[in-house]
Amino acid sequence: MKLIKWLIANQKQIASGAALFLLVICYVQQKQIAELRQDPKIEVFTGSDIAKTKTIDSLQTLVDSLDAENYPCQIELNRYKIAYEIFIKRNPKAAQQYGTIISEETE
């Protein structure tokens, strides 16, 4: 109860202190932003770095190409998995036989 009375009595001072605190925080943030804007981050590549960059780019292109080729296969595989789960629900005995064929006779 004493705390509430004290807060009510000192409401203006508390609000002023909070506003001052926020102003200080904003000032510090603006100062940090200004410093970051003044320091440009420029990377200089040397001869070996350029060769590494070309190698990385070609490897990334290869990975992207393989992903693009693999995507339709993944879609088809997921369809077969879903169909097999439906098959298990509808005809468990036949699905078990099919699973045995896939796992043991197609290696």
- CA–CA distance, 57 with 28 (Å, rounded to integer): 40
Domain that holds residue 97: 43-107
Using a 10 angstrom Cβ sphere, with 0-12 exposed, 13-18 middle and 19 or more buried, the burial of residue 88 is: middle
Close Cβ partners of 53 (under 8 Å, ≥ 6 residues apart): 45
> Does 42 have pLDDT greater than 70?
no
pLDDT band at 44 (very low <50, low <70, confident <90, very high): low
Does 27 lie in the same domain as 7?
Answer: yes
**Mean pLDDT calculated for residue range 49-67:** 86
Does 66 lie in the same domain as 87?
Answer: yes
Instruction: Read off the pTM.
Output: 0.42
Does 49 lie in the same domain as 38?
Answer: no
Does 105 lie in the same domain as 53?
Answer: yes
Structurally, the chain folds into a number of domains equal to 2
